[in-house]
């Protein structure tokens, strides 16, 4: 395939890419927190205050802007006071959502904020609406953020942190249409108003209050929520969740199943467009940001693993899903303000997998590493023209674009990311820069000859990016994109 064309127009800016769309999500689920992040101070695994050094180092390298915690479904059965004070005195609870595992509460608010500090991320706390009370959530905010001499501020100081945490992002419940209480949109809007009324900006720590949005792209939920909300104004974000699911299993799939999952991931663009358009009818000035604070693939748990713990392998296919999704967020930088991939370690589409003292980074991790330069850049118009791919799904022919991407500009350097979704064909494309010239570029590729390739503890670098210099001249050049690849150009202008 050689008749493709990619055009980038530097004089057609879209918006600044909010770094927070590159956020992460860590739930008390399976081995995400315990084993994945937290091993305890007495562990033989090297740690800082009980948190794994290898995981901290790896996450810090990809510049995570924000981490959402403690859930997920876990959030609406979590009572924050269980996770403060001396760890030996913290109660042991049942994690009713994820396999009835015993929650020791060793990792609580202080540990989470410390973890965020270590990796350079902002904490995003998801509060309990389903089984909690407005008073409980209000007190958590005071405990975290009040700088004065209240009993809760004194308790925080006694537990080791005299200064307020200044936690900005607060989710008012999670999936309240489902595991967060099975509310209708109208009933949840009433609960949102009740809970958020008492989430105050203690000591001038301005909160960003986030309401639960729909399951997937459900404009009807969104309309009903905002209609019931009326003129109430203490809302700053609205969070949709979208999982593209699976096709086959995490590591076993046909070529058509490869295409099917990538095609499903592109439905994120429809969600972004329609959810923002629905919100605009109530919020034309876009004072309320669109969040997508859970997204990713969701494969069956690996054989031999507890299915309730959602441990799955992570292949080149997952990497392309991540790249396609981040490119959608980049292209719609005027619409999306936060994204949180699910989840950080050992669960679903994880950045990192651990096994005892062993650790590896996944193909998805490498996409986040390659796409770092987009964070905070000016998204600019780009378009890919290439022959599409026809594949079978559910007995029907479907159509998948062979090339997708996004472009951004920061400090006179263009970052251009391109995904070749074709499982077997190289796509050669003419590359056109409108409004600039270049003489050289750095190109980084994530690619493998096997579309099922993934990293294991015995072979942790099977899938990893490779970088090289590329000589280009003027406003145009040609490039051959390998099959099943993610390519990022960094081009000084």
Catalytically active residues, by annotation: 175, 294
Report the alpha-carbon distance of residue 475 to residue 27 in Å, rounded.
46
Structure token pair of residue 373: 């330069």
115: Cβ contacts below 8 Å, ≥ 6 apart: 37, 51, 56, 67
Query: 373, 490 in Cβ contact below 8 A?
Result: yes
The answer to whether the beta carbons of residues 102 and 46 sit under 8 Å apart is no
The residues that bridge with 67 in the sheet, in sequence order, are 24, 123
- Alpha-carbon torsion 293, 357, 361, 62, what sign? positive
Euclidean distance between CA atoms 238 and 251, whole angstroms: 34
Q: Are 451 and 255 in contact (CB under 8 A)?
A: yes
> Please, is 134 exposed, middle or buried when counting C-beta atoms within 10 Å of its C-beta (0-12, 13-18, 19+)?
middle
Q: Beta strand 169-172 with 122-127: parallel, antiparallel or unpaired?
A: parallel
Cβ neighbors of 165 (< 8 A, separation 6 or more) are 109, 113, 123, 144, 145, 156
Q: In what order do the strands lie in the sheet with 476-481?
A: 466-474, 438-447, 485-492, 413-420, 403-410, 378-385, 4-16, 427-434, 476-481
Dihedral (C-alpha) 314, 315, 317, 320: value to the nearest 10 degrees? 70
**493 CB-near residues (< 8 Å, 6+ apart):** 10, 409, 412, 413, 414, 433, 436, 437, 438
Q: Are 117 and 98 in contact (CB under 8 A)?
A: no
């Amino acid at each position: 395939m050689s008749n493709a064309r990619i055009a980038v127009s530097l004089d057609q800016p879209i918006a600044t890419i909010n770094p927070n769309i590159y956020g992460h999500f860590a739930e008390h689920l399976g081995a995400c927190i315990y084993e994945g992040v937290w091993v305890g101070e007495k562990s033989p695994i090297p740690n800082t205050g009980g948190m794994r050094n290898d995981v901290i180092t790896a996450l810090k390298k990809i510049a995570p802007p924000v981490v959402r915690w403690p859930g997920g479904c876990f959030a609406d059965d979590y009572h924050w006071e269980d996770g403060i004070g001396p760890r030996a005195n913290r109660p042991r609870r049942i994690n009713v959502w994820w396999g009835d595992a015993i929650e020791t509460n060793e990792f609580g608010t202080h540990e989470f904020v410390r973890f965020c500090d270590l990796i350079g991320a902002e904490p995003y706390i998801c509060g309990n609406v389903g089984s909690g009370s407005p008073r409980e959530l209000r007190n958590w905010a005071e405990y975290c953020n009040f700088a004065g001499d209240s009993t809760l501020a004194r308790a925080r100081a006694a537990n080791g942190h005299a200064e307020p945490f200044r936690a900005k992002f607060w989710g008012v419940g999670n999936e309240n249409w489902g595991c967060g209480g099975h509310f209708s949109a109208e009933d949840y809007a009433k609960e949102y108003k009740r809970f958020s009324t008492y989430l105050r900006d203690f000591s001038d720590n301005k909160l960003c209050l986030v309401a639960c949005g729909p399951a997937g792209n459900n404009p009807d939920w969104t309309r009903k929520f905002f209609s019931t909300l009326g003129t109430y104004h203490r809302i700053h974000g609205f969070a949709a969740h979208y999982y593209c699911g699976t096709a086959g299993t995490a590591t076993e799939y046909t070529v058509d199943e490869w295409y099917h999952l990538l095609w499903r991931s592109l439905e994120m663009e429809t969600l972004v467009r329609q959810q923002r358009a629905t919100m605009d009818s109530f919020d034309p000035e876009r004072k309320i940001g669109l969040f997508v604070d859970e997204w990713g693939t969701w494969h069956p748990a690996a054989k031999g693993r507890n299915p309730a713990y959602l441990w799955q392998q992570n292949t080149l296919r997952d990497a392309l899903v991540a790249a396609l999704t981040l490119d959608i967020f980049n292209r719609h930088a005027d619409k999306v303000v936060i994204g949180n991939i699910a989840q950080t370690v050992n669960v679903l589409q994880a950045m990192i997998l651990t096994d005892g003292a062993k650790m590896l980074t996944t193909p998805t991790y490498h996409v986040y590493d390659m796409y770092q330069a987009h964070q905070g850049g000016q998204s600019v118009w780009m378009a890919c023209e290439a022959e599409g791919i026809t594949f079978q799904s559910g007995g029907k022919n479907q159509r998948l674009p062979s090339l997708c991407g996004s472009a951004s500009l920061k400090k006179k350097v263009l970052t251009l990311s391109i995904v070749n979704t074709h499982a077997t064909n190289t796509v050669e494309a003419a590359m056109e820069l409108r409004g600039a010239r270049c003489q050289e570029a750095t190109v980084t590729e994530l690619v493998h000859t096997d579309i099922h390739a993934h990293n294991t503890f015995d072979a942790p670098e099977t899938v990893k990016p490779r970088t090289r210099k590329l000589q280009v001249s003027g406003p145009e050049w040609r490039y051959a994109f390998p099959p099943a690849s993610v390519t990022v150009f960094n081009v000084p202008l």
